[in-house]
């Protein structure tokens, strides 16, 4: 189903019947993607006295409780409340859900014992393009990302000047296939988060970071229309389901 959308000064045509889901589903399993040194999520039927509220156990319905951490257990979108003493909810600050996005693929560069994404790489990938969002796919890109246990792996991260470049370019939404835009062990500095949200100045409250996405190799680099779907949790972060649509016109 083709739809023509007026976006700023452009008319974009997208096929609504061809969504490209770049989220990682959450499962109650040790093979669920995981970070930050905690166990897997749980999805279990409620027990009331001697009754287990599950159709399998004879109940009329399935009635499960779910325990998870949005930062550790799957695709999630976070706001500046992730790093502020004052409470900020992503559900309150993200009020628009469609954005023009650029999908880019980068091969992390070695820097000492780390691997990083540099300003030069993002400059090359974006050029003079004007986008609201950037979707960063890191190499190597395998399905192992769907179940990777990231704790104590010293994952790739964005350098401070790379994030500053994105801010200067007007990027308001960063999506990346890693647990964090910052180094796993950084002594709590959170330099990339703080740079992106302008922590020392006027906070960029309407800007978001989405982590632990997965962009299949069948999705080409280039321009897409992004639908950033979030669950309405009043929290600094929430599970999310970013969907891409290829743009024509």
Residue 113 confidence (pLDDT): 96
Per-residue pLDDT of the chain (249 residues; tens, 9 = 90+): 888 988 888 899 999 999 999 999 999 999 999 999 999 999 999 999 889 999 999 999 999 999 999 999 999 999 999 999 999 999 999 999 999 999 999 999 999 999 999 999 999 999 999 999 999 999 999 999 999 999 999 999 999 999 999 999 999 999 999 999 999 999 999 999 999 999 999 999 999 999 999 999 999 999 999 999 999 999 999 999 999 999 986
Q: Where are the domains of the chain?
A: 15-25+70-248
Residue 249 confidence (pLDDT): 65
Q: What is the CATH number of domain 15-25+70-248?
A: 3.50.30.50
Residue 65 confidence (pLDDT): 98
Indicate the pTM of the whole model: 0.97
Convert the pLDDT of each residue in 104-148 to its tens digit: 999 999 999 999 999 999 999 999 999 999 999 999 999 999 999
Q: Which of 106, 201, 220 is nearest to 158 (CA)?
A: 106
């Amino acid at each position: 189903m083709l739809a023509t959308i007026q976006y700023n000064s452009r008319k974009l045509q997208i096929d609504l019947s061809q969504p490209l889901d770049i989220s990682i589903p959450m499962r109650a399993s040790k093979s669920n993607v995981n970070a930050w040194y905690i166990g897997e999520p749980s999805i279990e039927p409620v027990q009331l006295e001697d009754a287990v509220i599950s159709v399998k156990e004879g109940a009329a319905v399935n009635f499960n409780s779910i325990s998870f951490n949005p930062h550790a257990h799957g695709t999630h979108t976070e706001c500046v409340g992730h790093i502020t003493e004052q409470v900020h909810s992503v559900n309150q600050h993200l009020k628009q859900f469609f954005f023009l996005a650029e999908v880019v693929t980068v091969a992390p560069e070695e820097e000492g014992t780390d691997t990083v994404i540099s300003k030069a790489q993002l400059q090359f990938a974006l050029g003079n393009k004007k986008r609201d969002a950037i979707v960063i796919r890191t190499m190597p890109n395998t399905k192992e990302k769907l179940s990777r246990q990231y704790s104590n792996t010293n994952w790739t991260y964005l350098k401070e000047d790379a994030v500053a470049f994105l801010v200067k370019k007007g990027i308001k939404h960063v999506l990346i296939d890693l647990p964090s835009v910052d180094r796993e062990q950084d002594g709590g500095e959170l330099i990339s988060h703080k740079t992106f949200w302008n922590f020392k100045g006027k906070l960029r409250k309407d800007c978001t970071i989405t982590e632990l996405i997965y962009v299949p190799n069948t999705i080409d680099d280039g321009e897409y229309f992004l639908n950033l779907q979030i669950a309405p949790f009043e929290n600094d972060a929430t599970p999310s389901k970013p969907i891409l649509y290829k743009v024509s016109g």
